[in-house]
Amino acid sequence: MIKQLFKIVWNRKRANFLIILEVFISFLVVFAVMAFGVYFVDIYTYPLGFTYQDVWSVRINRGAYSSDEDKLKQIEVIKQLMQSAKEFSEVESIAGVNTNVFDNSESISSFDYAGKKHEPSVNFVTDDMAKILDIKLLEGRWFSKDDDAESTIPIIINQKLSQELFANESPIGKVINMGSKEELYKIVGLVLDFRDDTELVAPKSYILIRNNINIKDASSIRMRFVPNFIIKLRPGTTAAFEEKLARNFLSIAKDWSFNIQTLEDLRNKKIKGILSPVLAVAIVAVFLMIMVALGLSGVLWQNVTQRIKEIGLRRANGATRGKIYYQILGELLVITSIALTAGTIIVIQFPLLGFFDFVTAKVYIITILLSCGIIALLTIICGLYPSSLAARIPPAEALHYE
């Protein structure tokens, strides 16, 4: 039966070419959309590495500085701001960060290690950051005042960077150089893959560098400014506290400005920004699939109309309605299989050409299977009514065919 279906399809190859082409193009469109969808679902399941509930972001615009003395003055103001925030009963803890969680900005360090170039994201943070974001250590320890006396700069790295640098070895105690010969960084802790770009961005290599704002020498290599705060609030704190906190900050730093938002709001905005173009493409793809379905149904309907004599003669020779129905549907499945086979051969070449190289092999295989399933289901649905029409053609119709 299958051999016969392939023979029928081959004998009508010119008429079936248009259907094969439509199914082929539809498969490529569905594959492109599904690749992003499966990719996002896959990376969404990875641990975020921290919690963001009841945490506020405070972005500070403090103006420029022109000398080491200005640096020290600004650092003193930052310390006053942090101390004043701690005096509110609504505040559990506050920390300084160079780049805030779910922010659109990013700092990257480029350095060579063991003959390979690495470009991890870096963030300068104060000692209370782990307590605020509930960051869990896998190995080692968090920053503390004991690090003030260290000659090397303490850092904490995530699992991804640890795997890149040291494979399966423990990173604790290792010293790396990230550019300047004077700056040596000692790894004191290992954390999960810290995903500050939301769950919809793949884990990246990450370094947390201790920011010691208590030092007195503004020219020290260990001096880094913190243009942001993160504040852990007690559960139940309302949005009204934002105005009170802003007024307090402005009373200390009158020439500075403060942008206060919840990390949850920042996360939602970033997720919308990531998904918006994907959803736009998905909507276009849905309308395209609807047009393909309508066109495919029309082509199949016309195909049945043109074959009235052939189908009528089969009925006259004893073929039942069921056999005719399954013959037309079987031909469509053969045509779909040819188109999907050609499409699959094309898409498996994409990684070799640099397309979709951001997805894993698992995601790629799942995407191909889902795309094939969706297209097969679509063509079967489109072929149900034309097949039913063919099955209802009476044998006498063949005698009236001109």
| pLDDT tens sequence across 107-142 | 888 888 888 899 999 999 988 899 999 998 999 999
Q: Is residue 182 predicted with pLDDT exceeding 70?
A: no
Q: Which residues contact 242 (CB under 8 A, 6 or more apart)?
A: 56, 260
pLDDT of residue 232: 95
d(CA 334, CA 351): 28
User: Is pLDDT larger for residue 131 or for residue 327?
Assistant: 131
Instruction: Report the Cα 272 to chain-centroid distance in Å.
Output: 12
**Can you tell me the mean pLDDT for 282-304?**
76
- Phi first, then psi, for residue 186 (nearest 5°) are -105, 130
Confidence of residue 211 (pLDDT cuts 50, 70, 90): confident
Query: Using one digit for the tens of pLDDT, what is the confidence trace for 12-69?
Result: 666 677 778 888 888 888 898 888 889 988 988 888 989 999 999 999 887 666 566 7
- Amino acid letter, 249: F
d(CA 290, CA 293): 5
Q: What is the pTM for the complete model shown? A: 0.78
pLDDT of residue 221: 46
**Can you tell me the mean pLDDT for 377-395?**
74
| Surface-to-core class of residue 64, CB atoms within 10 Å of its CB (0-12 exposed, 13-18 middle, 19+ buried) | exposed
Q: At what angle do helices 361-391 and 13-44 cross, to 10 degrees?
A: 140
Please choose, from the candidates 226, 228, 304, the residue with its C-alpha nearest in 3D space to the C-alpha of residue 266. Answer: 228
Q: Are strands 116-118 and 206-210 parallel, antiparallel or unpaired?
A: unpaired
Instruction: Report the Cα 24 to chain-centroid distance in Å.
Output: 27
Give 114's strand partners: none
